[in-house]
Structure 1
Amino acid sequence: MKVPAHVELVTAALEAGKHVYCEWPLATTAGEAAALAAAGERAGVHTAVGLQARFSPTVRRAREMIGEIGEVLSATVYSSRGKGNTRDVPGWTAYTYDRRSGAGLVEVLGGHTLDLVQYLLGPIRELSGRTAIRNGSHRVAETAEPIAVTAPDHFLAHAELDGGAAVSVHLHDGEAAMPRTRIEIAGTEGNLALTSAPETDPWAAQAQIGRLELRLSRPGSPEWTVVPVRDAGELAIQAANVGRVYDQLAADLHDGTHTVPDFAAAHRLHELLSTV
């Protein structure tokens, strides 16, 4: 389902008193997201949004280990996608090159990345950034129809966390090599690094989808040491993290808890992205 259709369909489900899970991005604007969050509150139902990167076993293990590296000083995030690395692109992706669709690099990968940073390290207090369109010439592969590109393919941001740590983020489309992610977290007593595991499918290499590997280094022992992570998932990699969201949402519904990101969390993330 395309992002511009979310508001109508989600609103109808909420008005019918249904629990609603919606993929990320929740909406095309922060205003739409605010309206959906408010509608969910009025309906008194569970709402959930697909910010699945935080459900990766590696991400959860890294979060458990943050205290082992002392006070967090800074973090550096790099993530790329292969989308748009050729002039001719699949027709089903054409709408994402229109910024009004709310489904470009900034909204999709930017949202997943900033949610991941905050899940690991805490709230972002201040965010500034720039975007750019570096490849504005695309055509629909099936028809050769030109695409008017208005969605940025580069996103660079600087953030300050509530705890004072500095964060830099560089995201981009058009990766000619295998897409990849690297997150380095520097602390007073060591560093953690989350890096993409080898994948054969470029789409699966995205931060919110692909497997991540975890490494640790410490003063006096600067070489990176692999941290074992237990991952007993049986689903295909493209579905694994989303499946973990479903499992947790089922537990929330059964137990009356609220651990999966809801529409209010999605609204806050939309607001954060709107500052760039």
Structure 2
Amino acid sequence: MAPIRIALIGLSQSAKTSWAGDAHLPYLLSDRGRERYTIVALLNSTEQAARRAIEHYELGADVKSYGSPHDLAADPHVDLVMCATRVDVHYDTIRPSIEAGKDVFVEWPLAENAQRAAELAALAREKGGRTVVGLQTRVAPAIVKVKSLLESGVVGKVVSSEVTAATLYGGGDSISEGLAYFLDKKVGGNPVTIAFGHMIDFLHHTVGEYATAHSHLQIQRPQQSVVDADTRATLATVTSNVPDLVSVHGTLQPSPYVAEGASLLINFRTGPPFPGTLPFIWTIHGEKGEIRISSERGTFIGADASGFPVPIEVHDYATGEVHRVKWEWEEWQEALPIRARSIGKGYDLFYQGGVEGGGLVEFDAAVARHVLLDAMLWP
């Protein structure tokens, strides 16, 4: 099959943070990625900015530069559009390409709220393009392994599960200027929608969806200083309306490996954990044993664990023994930076034609996550 012709939105030379450069580009420029994808265009805020990025990343003079989403959407030589910009520009940036019937890959969150996400999903269904949202932890090997353990019945049916998590970013009384938008929930990008959002997606992917649930959210530190990232000088004082503590308790839907009435309890907060305590501990209690998954890098299991183990341990109630279950990246993933590995797997699955069934998330499934988060953030 010929390589998929892809256009990248948000690959910037000057951005303070570049998820497109850190997580997408390494795979696309690898030998494996080049066999499956060809970068044919970039869209940035201006055509000149796109051209500078093309030159900076040495993508080649034949890669087209665009400053208009409508011009990109009109390019017949683009098959797939990938968007990795700030979430509050997703809608306007990708809508023209969806309207044109192109396949679209959008980083999570899909849009700044459930309503706009649903509009994009409805339009994509109407126009017929394939869609993917970057909830890539579903295909991270540690999560794939946990799901396979549950399906094998190694601990019997799940009777309850609980998570204690903290994000390593933020949590104090200051935030860097580049992330100041995390303090305004209207923007749609913040620790609840991003760190908690990624986490609750892979939890539900593994143990199933809530049948019923109740949430409690709190803003522990509303007054925040916006500081210069280099000098730490205070630039402004802002009142945050984004919760920094989230607690959700609910009953899971029963399944072949989840018992009737099983509970999922989640406690999440911003900021580092108490010294000596891991920022992510997930236990799954079964009829015959339990599984524990932990991470030194918090909730970002598939994207930010380079050099840090993510152990999976199984406690067998009958024998009292605890053993560690091995998991590993595929050989080709090992050659990529950690942030590009699960993203790369997603690209592989998309190239092979798999979307939802292969662990990738379509727009419609992402809308369900948005609905859950909006109900919590906008009660």
Q: Is the contact between residue 37 and residue 264 of structure 1 (CA under 8 Å) also seen in structure 2?
A: yes
In the alignment, what sits opposite 1:105?
191
* TM-score (norm: length of structure 1): 0.90
Q: Is the contact between residue 183 and residue 242 of structure 2 (CA under 8 Å) also seen in structure 1?
A: yes
In the alignment, what sits opposite 1:244?
345
In the alignment, what sits opposite 2:174?
88
Q: In 2, Cα distance between the equivalents of 1:189 and 1:146? A: 52
Unaligned regions of 5+ residues in structure 1, if any? none
Q: In 2, Cα distance between the equivalents of 1:205 and 1:184? A: 14
How far 1:180 moved relative to its partner? 2.4
In the alignment, what sits opposite 2:236?
145
Deviates more, 1:60-69 or 1:134-143: 134-143
How far 1:258 moved relative to its partner? 5.3
Q: Is the contact between residue 180 and residue 207 of structure 1 (CA under 8 Å) also seen in structure 2?
A: no
SS in 1 for 2:365: helix
Instruction: Give CA-to-partner distance per residue, 1:100-156, whole Å, 9 cap, x none.
Output: 111122211222122111111122211210111112222221152112211111110
In the alignment, what sits opposite 1:191?
290
SS in 2 for 1:41: helix
For the pair 1:46 / 2:130, whether they are aligned, the reply is yes
Q: In 2, Cα distance between the equivalents of 1:108 and 1:222? A: 38
In the alignment, what sits opposite 1:267?
367
Alpha-carbon distance change, 165 to 256 in structure 1, aligned in 2, over 3 angstroms: closer
Deviates more, 1:156-165 or 1:205-214: 205-214
State the one-letter code of the partner of 1:192. Answer: I
In the alignment, what sits opposite 1:71?
157
Q: How many residues align?
A: 269
For the pair 1:231 / 2:332, whether they are aligned, the reply is no
In the alignment, what sits opposite 1:126?
212
Alpha-carbon distance change, 273 to 156 in structure 1, aligned in 2, over 3 angstroms: same
In the alignment, what sits opposite 1:156?
247
| Greater radius of gyration (CA) | 2
Alpha-carbon distance change, 256 to 121 in structure 1, aligned in 2, over 3 angstroms: closer
Deviates more, 1:117-126 or 1:72-81: 117-126
In the alignment, what sits opposite 2:146?
62
Alpha-carbon distance change, 28 to 51 in structure 1, aligned in 2, over 3 angstroms: same
Alpha-carbon distance change, 80 to 208 in structure 1, aligned in 2, over 3 angstroms: farther
Unaligned regions of 5+ residues in structure 2, if any? 1-84, 229-233, 255-260
Q: Is the contact between residue 53 and residue 209 of structure 1 (CA under 8 Å) also seen in structure 2?
A: yes
In the alignment, what sits opposite 2:114?
30
* TM-score (norm: length of structure 2): 0.67
Q: In 2, Cα distance between the equivalents of 1:52 and 1:266? A: 12
In the alignment, what sits opposite 1:174?
271
CA-atom RMSD in angstroms: 2.0
Percent identity, aligned pairs only, is 26
